[in-house]
Structure 1
Amino acid sequence: MRVNEEIRVREVRVVSDTGEQLGIMLAREAIRLAGEQQLDLVEVAPTAKPPVCRIMDFGKFKYEQQKRDKETKKKQKIVSLKEVKLRPGIEDHDFDVKLKNAQRFLADGDKVKVTIMFRGRELSHPELGRQLLVKMADILKETVNVEREPKLEGKNMIMIVAPKQHN
């Protein structure tokens, strides 16, 4: 945003600090008018013909803008990707522990990457890993969307699930 002497156009449409239209006038005339009120002339619509400028307290305006930006930043939720690693021969109890971890991550609003790690000859039976991932997806199906179906990548099989959005 350009302020006071930074405004280089000849004519501007001026709006007072109360929102009242003051009409089109020379830029230096508008700057003088703002100066008389101990305020600034701020260009609010530079693309308009002629550009629209507002008489306001620029310091106060910048402060309000920062406050609004801070509030919107506070309301944003950063979604991170958490990972749960399994092996094809995992026992039921260990599977339940990993499932609980995944549920906790999902409850926090994070996406979960479920990875099955194959070693040695286990790679000759990828269907065992796929069964585990499908089993986990079935258990979680009420609360998640499967973003990425189980897929073998090198020695790992990966599936990504995200929490369902409640509207």
Structure 2
Amino acid sequence: MANADKVRVNREIRADEVRVVEPDGEHDVVDLEAALERAREHDLDLVEIAPDAQPPVCKIIDYGKYRYRKQKQEKRQRKRSKSMQMKELRFRPRTDDHDFDFKAGHARRFLENGNKVKAYVQFRGRDIIYKDQGMDLLRRLIEEVQDIARIDQAPKMEGRRMTTVLGPHKNK
């Protein structure tokens, strides 16, 4: 509700001239005092709707109802926006087949739930000479989940890690 808190009402409006939108839809540019007088005549508030416009746009409405509608709208938007988490899977260059299958199953489940998966191969000590095995491991993972995932970041080296990021397909 941060946006509704920043809205200026009645005497908080700082402009000398404003574009007033009446309750019946009529609008024209008048000085602030005339706009406040019109709002008083209608027994409503003068609410600054578009402060960045030249001149600022103000509407004669009930401020309480305006805030209520704004809150409902923001709540609907938050409900619609799906939060996506980043799940991580760690491999070593010589990860065994059973362990790989187990972790690939985890990746599949994460992707089906709409989360992104960051898979990485951690190289320790002399493991760094097995970069090709790490690349093969990540490619196998990509092939394993390609029916439900897209590649957000291709496999690449980052220090002593080789990472890739997979995301769920948009149509799911």
TM-score range, shorter-chain basis? 0.7 to 0.9
Q: Bigger CA drift: 58-67 or 45-54?
A: 45-54
Q: 1:4 maps to what in 2?
A: 10
In structure 2, the CA distance between the partners of 1:95 and 1:43, relative to structure 1 (3 Å rule), is same
Q: Which residue of 1 aligns with 2:21?
A: 15
Q: Report percent identity of matched pairs.
A: 41
Match of 1:33 in 2: 38
* Corresponding residue to 2:114 among 109, 114, 117: 109
Counterpart of 1:121? 126
CA RMSD of aligned residues (A): 2.2
**Which stretch of the first structure deviates more once superposed, 34-43 or 127-136?**
34-43
Map 1:43-58 onto structure 2 (within 5 A): 43-58=48-63
2:96 matches 1:91 = yes
Larger Rg: 1
| Change beyond 3 A, Cα 1:138–1:60 | same
Instruction: For 1:86, give the aligned amino acid.
Output: F
Task: Quote the residue 1:74 is aligned against.
Answer: 79
Could you tell me which runs of 5 or more consecutive residues in structure 2 were left unpaired when the two chains were aligned: 1-6
Partner of 1:153: 158
Q: CA deviation at 1:128?
A: 1.1
> Which residue is equivalent to 2:149?
144
- TM-score between both structures, scaled by the size of structure 1: 0.85
Structure 1: runs of 5+ lacking an equivalent: none
Q: TM-score, normalised by structure 2?
A: 0.83
After TM superposition, the structure 1 stretch with the greater mean CA deviation from structure 2, 22-31 or 109-118, is: 22-31
C-alpha displacement at 1:10, in angstroms? 4.2
Report how many residues are paired.
166
Distance 2:150 2:20 in 1: 52
CA–CA distance in structure 1, aligned partners of residues 13 and 123 of structure 2: 65
